[in-house]
Chain A
Amino acid sequence: MTVPRVTRRQPRVARQPSAATPPAVTRLRKWCRGRGWKPFPFQETVWRNMLDGASGLLHAPTGTGKTLAAWLGALARSHGRAATTGRDQPQSARGGPRIIWLTPLKALAADTVRALEEPLADLRGDWLDGQWRVGLRTGDTSAGERQRLRARWPDALVTTPETLSILLSLDDAHDIFAGLETVVVDEWHELLSTKRGVQTELALARLRTLAPGLCTWGLSATLANLDEAVAALVGPAGADAARLVKADIPRRLVIETLIPEPMERFPWAGHMGMRLLPQVIATIERAATTLVFTNTRAQAERWFEAIGTARPDWKATIALHHGSVDRELRTRAEDGLRRGTMKCVVATSSLDLGVDFGPVEQVLQIGSPKGIARLLQRAGRSGHAPGATGRLVCVPTHALELIECAAARTAAEAGVVEARPPLVGAVDVLAQHIVTVACSGGFREAELLAEVRSTHAFSSLDESSWRWAIDFAAQGGPALGAYPDFARIKQRFGRWYIASQAIARKHRMSIGTITGAATVDVKWLRGGRLGTVEESFISRLNEGDRFLFAGRPLKLFRFDGLTAWVKRARGTANLQVPRWNGGRMPLSMLLSAAVLELVRSAPGKRRAPREVQAVLPLLEIQSQWSRLPDPNTLLIERAHSRDGQHAFLFPFAGRLVHDGLAALVAWRIASRKPDTFVLAANDWGLQLAGRTPFAADERTWRQLLSPTNLLADLMQCLNGTEMAKRHFREIARVAGLVSGARQTNRQTQASAGLIFDVLTEHDAENMLLAQARREVLEQQFEFQRLRAALERIATQEIVVIDTPRLSPLAFPIWAEQIQSRLSTQGWLERITEMARELEEAAAG
């Protein structure tokens, strides 16, 4: 099999609207000249298209001037409209903003305001009205500031999708948005394949209703599915007329990989990769400022601690940055990066996005980048000084990751990139949106349905799902029809309205689609906040236990249910590191195929990439003990250890698909005869472990891996696991079943798991349950990819090999920390078995 080629459709070349240069473009050129540079052709194309009233998507690598293209274009459009309508006055008390700038992270919003303010200083009073203002409203905006904004709206408002939804729920949303001219969605690729993207699509459709003639622009990194990105942004009906503009400016970028020396001592498995610390330190030394990216927060904590211990002289100039670290500490790290006073900042995806930090010379990526787009995004955070080259160094955490690094590097160099498919049919987001619209003056069903269907996400929404969403908003679903004590929206004379102001208030508090696990504050005993950590981690610790957090060794002094009070701990040995959920992306499909191709072709190939040459001895062992996998064969290894019997399968389909496959195969075996299996997966393959030997013949495996009855079998084994229940939490939050914030009212506290049980028992038809199952299939197991994997396996030869011990490919899967269990045994049998295991372990 070859690397799947990305279909790059011919972009609709944005046409030049008119040959003559509009005065606004001349004015903007002049402004650029005043700053000592000349606008790029793509920037002028965007300006002309916006002046023309067209919508569209601008895609380019990070740091190429997308912001100025869209911002100056929006200003030019606003200026032109003002000239023709005579609305060249500062905003009156009643009028709302003319431009909305949506940013995916509220942490970025303040930076964005600063970036937008910059050209205004020159343009105000000359070209624009002297009073032209940019405002900011996010979830962090104080009540007083919100009042001031409402009293007099700024001309341009920077906000997030959640806050936009809140604004849409206000009584006077119609008045606020009637004069809106342009909406710009920044970092559209980040929102695209998430529920926040769906929420944004619905909000944009609403804005198009409130402000006909609205011009919508998205800014995005390059994607394989730009057409879908456009359709999701402007709605399928508007997609044909929308323009796709590519910022075609070459950016120099160098990608390398650290090769461990000596290679023999580099581990076969592991997540931290500390063995490369000396080389990492040497790499940091050679640049003035380095950004170190990790894949998980635990990795970030460990690496920050290790770098600080190795180089105490850097103490004041290194910082840690991840989503759980307190905002103030993060801001300090960002300011340091901006001013160039930082030697090195260790970060997770918390720094993937945002305004560029000029001084960053190089980026280190700890662990496999897992995707080409992600590699490019992170690499793009370096080399923004004029004339500089971006530079990214991959740091593998175990031997086989070298191959992933090689695959990502070669693909990036070849200009290949993944797709980000937008989500469709999220009824939880729809239910939330219906209540939002009901809050702002109500709606007629037919009108709102047409509006909702104008989005990409709900273009094929069927009547019954719509009916259910309305019912759910009105009375909590059909099962609750008999309870008059519950109603969120009520119908009067053919229009739906919010049932009460109290419910509107509560709804506004809970708008949003981001959900997180329950977290607790971490505070110094002597005062000061360090950040937040997951409740599940803290509750496992005892008072006096030591752990690493926010880059500091801490000792838990007391945990009172809301706050973990800590003191500084001495020494860094044996510290526990919180394991935050999430953050572990599966290897993208493109990369999986590229990795398999590298593994297959490596031994015979004289000119294999350097990274692959370094692991050749390991691949040699693999082919001696077992064999090398290839695209035409599914390799299955059988082995036994002290833990019992193992089967390893190597479909190379990504971790999530392997999770699903492992559950499916285990369930298919255990449905014949009650049994219990331990499952583990990584991006290359999966493991089943049990007490009895696994089949050795190809025929049995072919049955176990058959694509027939896939959906039914997967649904069955989902019921046997806790997965749907775990996923329900997020859905329940979005649909308003449980509150995201810590509830002040103790009378209405319940975990999502508990509500899941109640619904399963007493309202089995609830569509949110169906959605939970569907989302597990799609998001947890990447169902489409899983089916494709099984269909591919059906055409492959299956080879079963008994290995004398765990092979180099099997070992990392066996060592995976995250394992799950699938059992079809009764509860009593399970508990008996657990008792036996515990007794054995205790006996030694």
Chain B
Amino acid sequence: MNISTADDADIRLLPGRAAVVTASQTLLVADLHLGKAAAFRRVGIPVPEGSAQHDLARLERLVAEQFVKRLVVLGDLFHAKGGCTDRVFEEFREFRRRIAGVECLLVLGNHDRGVGRIPRNLGLDACLPVLDEPPFHFVHEPASVVAPASRGQFAIGGHLHPKLAIRSPGGDRIADRCFVAEPSLLVLPAFGSFTGGHLVAPAAERRLWIARDAAVVDVTRMAMLAARHRK
């Protein structure tokens, strides 16, 4: 599988934590966690709104710029039942109307399942547990990808919120969300801006890209060198 930032790649990694499957003209994002701020406020923690609107606007821009036919959200579109206020759903409907020309699918994530019944009138064309389109296997939790991989499939998912920290000998440190690829697997960074991350380490046959809003940089070798340097 050819994964890179180049135009002719099978899977193109985009600035802003998204990817495009070139063959099917599909835009992929994972882990938006809409309604997270509202979930916090519900339990008395004063977090302002704004990040969700910002993320949906970014997503809308990506859809427009990439001329894709389809948007697939790889799970955790919504954060929690307590945060799914009418307003959160209405904002999503509004977003859906603005990208009316593309198909919009949700591969259900653990958080989406926690929301309970996702309203039908959100404009999602389908909510699926997994999406199989050989050779691709779209799934929220890549922990469950062992079986498809053995069938020669390539799994793409989210859920992990991967993050990478690199320290240079000179003392500079960069910590940011990243894409993680293994021979039969790609994990996307969390798209939502009000989401945390889990550190991943470099390993053999694992490729890593730091995913910034402005750029995607392949740091596989850097991460490996930095890990070796620290030893």
Q: Which of B36-67 contact A (CB under 8 A)?
A: 36-51, 54
Known A-B contacts A833-B172, A834-B166, A838-B169; A486 and B46 likewise in contact (beta carbons under 8 Å)? yes
A736 within 8 A of B: yes
Residue in B closest to A768 when the chains form the complex, CB atoms:
B46
Chain B 144-169 interface mask (CB, 8 Å, partner A; 1/0): 00000000000000000000001011
In the bound complex, do residue B174 and residue A831 qualify as a contact, i.e. CB atoms below 8 Å apart? Answer: yes
Interface size class, chain A: 35 or more
In the bound complex, do residue B46 and residue A475 qualify as a contact, i.e. CB atoms below 8 Å apart? Answer: yes
A151 within 8 A of B: no
Residue in B closest to A542 when the chains form the complex, CB atoms:
B201
CB distance from B195 to the nearest CB of A (A): 8
Stretch from A45-53, A98-106, A305-313, A758-766 contacting the other chain: A758-766
B24 within 8 A of A: no
Q: Select one of B48, B79, B226 contacting A480, CB under 8 A.
A: B48
A18 within 8 A of B: no
Q: Select one of B42, B79, B195, B219 contacting A486, CB under 8 A.
A: B42
In the bound complex, do residue B45 and residue A834 qualify as a contact, i.e. CB atoms below 8 Å apart? Answer: no
CB distance from B114 to the nearest CB of A (A): 8
B171 within 8 A of A: yes
Residue in B closest to A750 when the chains form the complex, CB atoms:
B196
B217 within 8 A of A: yes
Q: Select one of A643, A762, A838, A842 contacting B48, CB under 8 A.
A: A762
CB distance from A843 to the nearest CB of B (A): 10
In the bound complex, do residue B226 and residue A483 qualify as a contact, i.e. CB atoms below 8 Å apart? Answer: no
Stretch from B90-98, B123-131, B208-216 contacting the other chain: B208-216
B228 within 8 A of A: yes
Chain B 6-21 interface mask (CB, 8 Å, partner A; 1/0): 0000000000000000
CA distance A149 to B229 in the complex (A): 58
In the bound complex, do residue B169 and residue A841 qualify as a contact, i.e. CB atoms below 8 Å apart? Answer: yes
Residues of B within 8 A of A503 (CB): 44
In the bound complex, do residue A747 and residue B80 qualify as a contact, i.e. CB atoms below 8 Å apart? Answer: yes
In the bound complex, do residue B44 and residue A506 qualify as a contact, i.e. CB atoms below 8 Å apart? Answer: yes
A751 within 8 A of B: yes
Q: Select one of B82, B172, B193 contacting A834, CB under 8 A.
A: B172
Q: Which of B50, B170, B171, B228 has the most CB of A within 10 A?
A: B170
Known A-B contacts A476-B41, A758-B194, A761-B54; A678 and B47 likewise in contact (beta carbons under 8 Å)? no
Chain B 104-120 interface mask (CB, 8 Å, partner A; 1/0): 00000000001000000
CA distance A830 to B49 in the complex (A): 32
Residue in A closest to B50 when the chains form the complex, CB atoms:
A762
CA distance A828 to B114 in the complex (A): 39
- How many residue pairs between the two chains, A and B, have CB atoms under 8 Å in the bound complex? 135
Q: Which of A351-370 contact B (CB under 8 A)?
A: none
Known A-B contacts A831-B219, A838-B229, A842-B228; A480 and B196 likewise in contact (beta carbons under 8 Å)? no
In the bound complex, do residue A819 and residue B171 qualify as a contact, i.e. CB atoms below 8 Å apart? Answer: yes
In the bound complex, do residue A830 and residue B41 qualify as a contact, i.e. CB atoms below 8 Å apart? Answer: no
B199 within 8 A of A: yes
Residues of A within 8 A of B170 (CB): 643, 676, 678, 821, 833-834, 837
CA distance A486 to B82 in the complex (A): 12
A485 within 8 A of B: yes
Residue in B closest to A754 when the chains form the complex, CB atoms:
B196
CB distance from A332 to the nearest CB of B (A): 37
Residues of A within 8 A of B195 (CB): 754
CB distance from A539 to the nearest CB of B (A): 7
Q: Which of A475, A483, A839, A841 has the most CB of B within 10 A?
A: A483
Known A-B contacts A757-B193, A838-B225; A821 and B45 likewise in contact (beta carbons under 8 Å)? no
B22 within 8 A of A: no
In the bound complex, do residue A506 and residue B43 qualify as a contact, i.e. CB atoms below 8 Å apart? Answer: yes
CA distance A835 to B221 in the complex (A): 9
Known A-B contacts A748-B39, A750-B196, A835-B222; A821 and B49 likewise in contact (beta carbons under 8 Å)? no
A479 within 8 A of B: yes
Residues of A within 8 A of B229 (CB): 838, 841-842
In the bound complex, do residue B166 and residue A737 qualify as a contact, i.e. CB atoms below 8 Å apart? Answer: no
In the bound complex, do residue B40 and residue A750 qualify as a contact, i.e. CB atoms below 8 Å apart? Answer: yes
CB distance from A328 to the nearest CB of B (A): 33
A508 within 8 A of B: no
In the bound complex, do residue A831 and residue B41 qualify as a contact, i.e. CB atoms below 8 Å apart? Answer: no
CB distance from A772 to the nearest CB of B (A): 15
In the bound complex, do residue B226 and residue A838 qualify as a contact, i.e. CB atoms below 8 Å apart? Answer: yes
Residues of B within 8 A of A477 (CB): 46, 48
Residue in A closest to B210 when the chains form the complex, CB atoms:
A831
Residues of A within 8 A of B46 (CB): 472, 475-477, 480, 486, 736-737
Chain A 738-760 interface mask (CB, 8 Å, partner B; 1/0): 10000001011111001101110
A827 within 8 A of B: yes
Known A-B contacts A479-B48, A758-B47, A761-B54; A821 and B225 likewise in contact (beta carbons under 8 Å)? no
A78 within 8 A of B: no
In the bound complex, do residue A823 and residue B40 qualify as a contact, i.e. CB atoms below 8 Å apart? Answer: no
In the bound complex, do residue A736 and residue B45 qualify as a contact, i.e. CB atoms below 8 Å apart? Answer: yes
In the bound complex, do residue A841 and residue B225 qualify as a contact, i.e. CB atoms below 8 Å apart? Answer: yes
Residues of A within 8 A of B114 (CB): 747
Q: Which of B172-187 contact A (CB under 8 A)?
A: 172-174
Q: Which of A16-35 contact B (CB under 8 A)?
A: none
CA distance A73 to B48 in the complex (A): 52
Q: Select one of A676, A749, A831 contacting B217, CB under 8 A.
A: A831
In the bound complex, do residue A838 and residue B41 qualify as a contact, i.e. CB atoms below 8 Å apart? Answer: no
In the bound complex, do residue B171 and residue A827 qualify as a contact, i.e. CB atoms below 8 Å apart? Answer: no
Residues of A within 8 A of B215 (CB): 827-828
Residues of B within 8 A of A757 (CB): 193
Q: Select one of B43, B47, B214, B225 contacting A745, CB under 8 A.
A: B43
CA distance A759 to B41 in the complex (A): 14
CB distance from B88 to the nearest CB of A (A): 11
Chain A 474-515 interface mask (CB, 8 Å, partner B; 1/0): 011101101101101000000000000001001100000000
CA distance A486 to B49 in the complex (A): 12
Residues of A within 8 A of B39 (CB): 747-748
CA distance A736 to B40 in the complex (A): 11
CA distance A556 to B169 in the complex (A): 26
CB distance from B3 to the nearest CB of A (A): 20
Residue in B closest to A735 when the chains form the complex, CB atoms:
B46
CA distance A828 to B212 in the complex (A): 10
Across the A-B interface, give the 9 residue pairs with the lowest CB-CB distance, nearest first.
Answer: A476-B46, A762-B50, A486-B41, A834-B168, A747-B80, A838-B225, A763-B48, A837-B168, A841-B169
- 18 inter-chain pairs at a CB distance below 8 angstroms, sorted by A residue, are A482-B49, A506-B44, A678-B171, A736-B45, A737-B47, A747-B82, A750-B196, A758-B47, A758-B50, A759-B48, A761-B50, A762-B51, A837-B170, A838-B168, A839-B225, A841-B169, A841-B225, A842-B225
6 further interface pairs, Cβ-Cβ under 8 Å (given A678-B170, A763-B50, A842-B228): A472-B46, A479-B48, A736-B46, A831-B210, A831-B222, A839-B225
Q: Which residues of A are in contact with B by a Cβ distance under 8 Å?
A: 472, 475-477, 479-480, 482-483, 485-486, 488, 503, 506-507, 539, 643, 676, 678, 736-738, 745, 747-751, 754-755, 757-759, 761-763, 819-821, 823, 827-828, 830-831, 833-835, 837-842
Q: Which residues of B are in contact with A by a Cβ distance under 8 Å?
A: 36-51, 54, 79-80, 82-83, 85, 114, 166, 168-174, 193-196, 199, 210, 212, 214-215, 217, 219, 221-222, 225-226, 228-229
